[in-house]
Structure formats: C-alpha cells, structure tokens
C-alpha cells in the first residue's frame, strides 16, 4: 500500500458546535497546516478567539482565511515563533496574554528509518521537533493558568509510541504522554486540566512546509512504506483517519464538555491503542 493522499480541506469541518468556544481565547500551535489548521478553523467557527502559532509566515494567510469563515465572533490572529526553543515559547506566552486553552500540536516524524540508521544529529533533531515544543509551551503558559485558577492544556501525542522505523519520534511522543500525566497531577489542584489525544495515521493535503527530505533511496522508500503498512495494519478500521477525525476529539477535550476528563491520553487511531 502506498502513502495515502487526501483532499480533506482543513478549513471545511463537516460538523461544528455553534458557540462552544464563545468568549474563549485559544492558542493552537502548528496552525499553518494539517491538524493544527483544522483545529484552529473549527474553534474559530465555534466562536473562539484563536491565536494560531507557527514558525512559518504561512500562518498569517491561514489565520486570515479562518477569520473570514469564522462564526459567533470567532477569529484567528497569527504569531510566528520557533517553539523548539524556550525563548520562542516564552515570547508566544508574553504576546498572547491571558488564554483559556493551549493546544500543543507541533511535532512530526522527520525521517523514517530503523533506529540503527539514525545519526546522532538526526536523533536530536527528532527530539527537538516533537518533544521540546510541548515541554516549553506548557512551562510558558502554566504559571498564568495556575494564577487564574483555570485553564486547559491539550497535547497532541501519537499512537506511534508503538511503531516501526521512528524510535526517536516514538520516544518524543512517549515523553508527551508523560508530560500529560505528570502535569495533570500537579495542575489539578490549581484548576488546570491537562489532557492529550494520540492520533494515528492521518490523511492530509501535501505539506506546504516539508518536515524533512522526501525518501530518495530505495531503502528510504521501503522504510517509509513499512511505516504506512504498519499504521494501517495496526488500525482496526484498516485505514488512515481524516484531519477532521483528529480535530474533533482535540476540540472536544479543549471544551468545557470535557470538564471531568483529566490526565488522559485518548487514542485516535481507528482502534490502534499505540
């Protein structure tokens, strides 16, 4: 089976809950494309004020499009930052002001290969990409939430904590799961919820900003194909999910409808528990 391709439009959710985020300020990272764009669009269409964060200036056009489609007073404002650094996360927190919800969506496999084929530099790059943005953003936004006695953090993990050819990425997402569990325990007495989803394979339009180089050698193409095959085989539904099938549970966990859910990681992988 080859890698799936989708025409799923992140700006056109099939279902919204009108007014669910009215009056809420929500930071969504990785908002320039993919799952982050779909989450930002849905929250704005449900009345929320979204601060869409990405290191690409593409987020500016995306937020303008989202604002033009928003309902119930919703809108999206862009911020650019490198969230792999503490300085980037701190700057976003300073510029965002008081927020009700933080959605940590930045991350993603850069290379697909057996662990013995990763260079030390590639291992460090994978960890910086998929662990540190969540670690830094939680640290940057938590103090204000604790001071306010309220807030919700939704982390985006992955069922690939049990997956082939991406051990450093799996380690990063295992760290995101640990952040979610440990920080929820610390934060609950202060009125702050910390939860996560763990997406499985997800259909998406071709990325405008590549995470890494496309597989070029015969071995690289085979290793990537092994990821695709294992992802489908591990899913009870035997398919990839859509952007909106990932955005919907994230938005649910971010909303007041999930007020009695804390410290949990919800697998969203068609039955793959990760």
- Fold designation for 25-267: Rossmann fold (3.40.50)
Pairwise CA distance, residues 46 & 233, whole Å: 35
Note the pLDDT of residue 206.
80
* Phi, psi (degrees; rounded to nearest 5) at 172: -60, -45
Given 115, 118, 169, 260, the catalytic residue: 169
Note the pLDDT of residue 21.
98
Q: Where are the domains of the chain?
A: 25-267
Q: How many residues make up the chain in this entry?
A: 274
The encoded tokens of residue 267 equal 């697998």
Sign of the dihedral through C-alpha 134, 107, 177, 10? positive
The model's pLDDT over 29-81, given as tens digits with 9 standing for 90+, comes to 999 999 999 999 999 999 999 999 999 999 999 999 999 999 899 999 999 99
CB atoms within 10 A of CB 258: 18
The helix (H) or strand (E) run that includes residue 159 is none
Q: List C-alpha distances in Å: 231 to 118, 228, 272.
A: 21, 5, 8
The model's pLDDT over 103-147, given as tens digits with 9 standing for 90+, comes to 999 999 999 999 999 999 999 999 999 999 999 999 999 999 999
Nearest Cα neighbor of 197 from 152, 117, 233, 251 is 251
pTM: 0.95
169 included as an active-site residue:
yes
The model's pLDDT over 216-247, given as tens digits with 9 standing for 90+, comes to 799 999 999 999 999 999 999 999 999 999 99
């Amino acid at each position: 089976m080859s890698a799936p391709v989708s025409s799923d439009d992140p700006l056109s959710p099939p279902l919204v809950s009108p007014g669910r985020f009215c009056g809420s300020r929500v930071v969504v990272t990785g908002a320039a494309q993919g799952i982050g764009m779909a989450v930002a669009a849905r929250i704005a269409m449900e009345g929320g004020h979204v601060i869409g964060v990405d290191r690409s200036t593409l987020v500016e056009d995306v937020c303008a499009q989202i604002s033009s489609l928003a309902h119930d007073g919703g809108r999206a404002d862009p911020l650019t930052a490198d969230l792999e650094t503490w300085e980037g996360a701190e700057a976003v927190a300073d510029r965002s002001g008081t927020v009700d919800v933080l959605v940590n969506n930045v991350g993603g496999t850069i290379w697909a290969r057996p662990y013995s084929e990763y260079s030390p530099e590639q291992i460090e790059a994978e960890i910086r990409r998929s662990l540190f943005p969540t670690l830094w953003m939680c640290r940057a936004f938590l103090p204000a939430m604790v001071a306010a006695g309220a807030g919700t953090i939704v982390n985006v993990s992955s069922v690939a904590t049990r997956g082939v050819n991406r051990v450093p990425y799996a380690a990063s997402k295992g760290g995101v799961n640990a952040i979610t569990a440990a920080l929820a325990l610390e934060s609950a007495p202060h009125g702050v919820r910390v939860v996560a989803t763990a997406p499985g394979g997800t259909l998406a339009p071709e990325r405008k900003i590549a995470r890494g180089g496309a597989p070029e050698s015969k071995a690289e193409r085979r290793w990537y194909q092994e990821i695709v095959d294992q992802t489908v085989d591990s899913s009870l539904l035997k398919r990839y999910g859509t952007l909106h099938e990932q955005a919907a549970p994230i938005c649910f966990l971010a909303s007041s409808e999930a007020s009695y859910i804390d410290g949990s990681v919800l697998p969203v992988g068609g039955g793959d528990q990760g």
